Amino acid sequence: MERLIESANAQQVSSGDVRCLALVGNYLPRLCGIATFTTDLTEAIVAAYPGIKTFAIPVTDTAKGYQYPERVRFEIQQNDLASYRYAADFLNISKVDTVCLQHEYGIFGGLAGSHILTFVRELRVPLVTVLHTVIKEPNDNQRRVMNEIAKQSDRLVVMSKLGAQILNENYSVPDQKIDYIPHGIHDVPFIDPNFYKDKFGVEGKKVLLTFGLLAPGKGIEQVIKALPDIIKKDPDVVFIVLGVTHPNVKKHDGESYRLSLEHLACQLGVAEYVAFYNRFVSQKELLEFIGAADIYITPYLQKAQITSGTLAYATGMGKAVISTPYWYAEELLNDDRGVLVPFADASAIAVATLDLLADENKRHAMRRRAFEYGRQMIWPVVAERFVQCFDKVHENRAIQPHIYSNALALHARPRELPEVDLQHLRRMTDNTGLLQHATFTIPNYKDGYTTDDTARGLIFATVLDDSGHYTEEAQDLSVRYLAFLLHAFNPSNKCFRNFMGYDRRWLEHKGSEDSHGRALWALGTVIGRSDVAMYRGTAAHVFDQALSTCITITSPRSWAFTLLGISEYMTHFSGDRKVQAIRKILTERLFQLLQKVTGSGWIWFEDSLTYANGVLPHALLISGEAMGDKTMVEAALEALEWLCDVQSLESGWFSPIGADGFYVRGGQRARFDQQPIEAQTMVSACLAAYRQTENLIWWDRARWVFDWFLGMNDLSEALYDTASGSCRDGLHADRPNENRGAEATLAFLHSLVEMRAMEATVNVDHAIRTA
């Protein structure tokens, strides 16, 4: 590891191998730390190396876009998977000889930002990836993404020595592939804080400062809690909180965090000592704010933060710093370049602040050490190190050319999945809920609404929101559908009503067992996936009341729907023993059915294959996995594989069991009245099998089933209508059913969103269909 650090600190002149450079990442005026970093690095390289043609490719998170500068040549739409492929194509056919990618999981679309994998796989240009986050204990999706990025990148750049160590020890990335380059800072002189104080009306005050995008994890409340003790001994103190609320926090919770801080200051009687600057300031003004600070404070609440641009700025400008001991702070503030205090300890912050304010010599010496250390972090030096890194890539390529294992021509690439189109779903949704039927694409008011379909709608809308697509519209749909389910719940019998007329009158006091299970599935999905606390809390209230009823239910599919809901619920509340017990009961019931019925080539839970068949092995698979029962998991996979075989006929296409007679054991299987719900439950089950086994066969089977919607079926007729965003209700023996009800359209949309979320994590070029 020492060799790694020394090579990064070496001062060498660029060999001039780089002629045209593209930087990929967020870019100003988008408001985030990555955007600031990418912009600053780009401009630093342009200033230091005018002979290198340099441009940027930002990731855009809004349909409105941003007023980017001329330096920007191409945009990636964050949640549009195809956009990542097009960006790679653009770079491949341009004269770019080096790409520098900024990586942070949250700035890319897909599970754990997996959309970026499509970009790195398609790219045919030397790639250097700058890792702004290195997770020591990643979940499966995060590890899969990081491993693939490490594989596809020529070099990885980290901004802390610990980051390099984690890559080496936790991801098996060799030292010789990693460069440590510190976070860049602006080169400003070492000056007295009083020089800038009159600009902000704090002359004569002792200024404490924190800045950056506001979010609950920043721990700013701890500094406010420390102020009463500080002010008692030093009433000339003022605490400046500089920065707007993080856009993602504001989108979900508005200004609630900032308002809570203001309320806390009032409660503690220190409001007059706290100044909130609720704006994103220019670089010049930011440097003036930092310059005016006597002490800079980062009271973050979580240890696992591998870098911090705000801390780098403050330290490099020679500020006295008090910080909690998150990873980057421990490293940067070592050797008395700052003071570390325990997490969430307001008293310790007060003691450290008063100590520094009372001892000017100690504070000045700390400032001088920090400033001198920061000279290696100024942007001209950092730009030089990056160009050295790029040159090193070209030197290595000359010795050992990079082999692209999946270099495909455009026509040979896997078929692109359609875009998500909500127009027909909008048409079927009104202020009450989701209309169940349509005549062609015209909503059928006569048949009213069902809890079944509205629960399907809520599951889809929540999954859509979780995927990062159409967030605002997905949440609007979620509210409508969730409100319907709340109204559908009958507290007198703890069951859900199912059918409602268009006149908003319930047609029954108790719905079907399947509608009850599907409603629990929907509520569990909200609890497990929604970012909106109010949605989760509302759903949890009804989920708790309705769950116990499922013990008396006899429908295996209702058990399965409930288990899928429990699986989602347990992602947030894995320690809920009541829910664990119900999961155990229902899972064992399913497993016992499978054991009892299976025999003589029939590997199934019942003596017939009817509807929504895929949900049974799906529920057993994920529940058995959660319970740590390998026998259940293996049995579920065997049943799912048998179901794939049964529904693969001589045509070679997926051919689901028809609703016109189904398939009774020993009888003849119904070929037609094929229903979209069969494809949807099979897609979900096969994707769950892929996640559990990481066997590409299951990904390929999911794609094989999904293609049924697109015309690869017994009639060679597409069920999905791209013009209207609707899905036909099924396949008759001679034609598609041209009605497009809620169940069919949601079956397609749900499958599409799941496929799109998974697509970027799978190297589909290597998947070979064996089903």
Mapped onto helix, strand or coil, the DSSP state of residue 300 is: coil
What's the one-letter identity of residue 682?
M
Instruction: Look at residue 412 in the predicted model and tell me its pLDDT.
Output: 44
- 699 token code pair: 């990904």
Listed in sequence order, the residues at least 6 apart from 549 whose beta carbon sits closer than 8 Å to its beta carbon are 494, 495, 516
Mapped onto helix, strand or coil, the DSSP state of residue 752 is: helix
- 762: pLDDT confidence band, cut at 50, 70 and 90? confident
pLDDT above 50 for 411: no
**Partners of residue 295 on adjacent β-strands:** 208, 320
- 770: pLDDT confidence band, cut at 50, 70 and 90? very low
Q: Please measure the distance between the N-terminal and C-terminal CA atoms of the chain and give it in whole angstroms.
A: 47
The H or E element containing residue 315 is helix 309-316
Which has the closest alpha carbon to 515: 567, 555, 570?
555
Instruction: Look at residue 276 in the predicted model and tell me its pLDDT.
Output: 94
Taking residues 68-76, what's their average pLDDT? Answer: 95
Instruction: Look at residue 41 in the predicted model and tell me its pLDDT.
Output: 97
Instruction: Look at residue 4 in the predicted model and tell me its pLDDT.
Output: 42
Taking only the tens place, the pLDDT of each residue in 110-142 is 888 988 999 999 999 999 999 999 999 998 889
Instruction: Look at residue 31 in the predicted model and tell me its pLDDT.
Output: 83
Taking residues 62-77, what's their average pLDDT? Answer: 92
**β-bridge pairing 76-77 and 98-103:** unpaired
The CA-based dihedral angle spanning residues 365, 367, 369, 372, taken in that order and rounded to the nearest 10 degrees: -130
Taking only the tens place, the pLDDT of each residue in 742-756 is 999 999 999 999 998
163-177, 329-343, 736-750, 757-771: which range is least confident on average? 757-771
- 297 token code pair: 């404070």
Instruction: Look at residue 763 in the predicted model and tell me its pLDDT.
Output: 58
Distance between CA 292 and CA 557 in Å, rounded?
65
The H or E element containing residue 497 is none
Taking residues 655-665, what's their average pLDDT? Answer: 96
Distance between CA 338 and CA 746 in Å, rounded?
56
37-46, 115-124, 647-656: which range is least confident on average? 647-656
Which has the closest alpha carbon to 474: 457, 492, 455, 461?
461
Count other Cβ atoms within 10 Å, centred on residue 404.
Answer: 12
Instruction: Look at residue 403 in the predicted model and tell me its pLDDT.
Output: 66
- 311 token code pair: 């801390």
| 20-24, strands of its sheet edge to edge | 53-57, 20-24, 98-103, 127-131, 155-158, 178-180
Taking only the tens place, the pLDDT of each residue in 479-510 is 999 999 999 999 999 999 999 999 999 999 99
Strand segments, DSSP code E, in 403-548 are 438-439, 442-443, 449-450, 489-490, 495-496, 499-500
Count other Cβ atoms within 10 Å, centred on residue 45.
Answer: 24
**Partners of residue 378 on adjacent β-strands:** 185
Distance between CA 84 and CA 74 in Å, rounded?
11
Summary mean pLDDT of the chain: 91
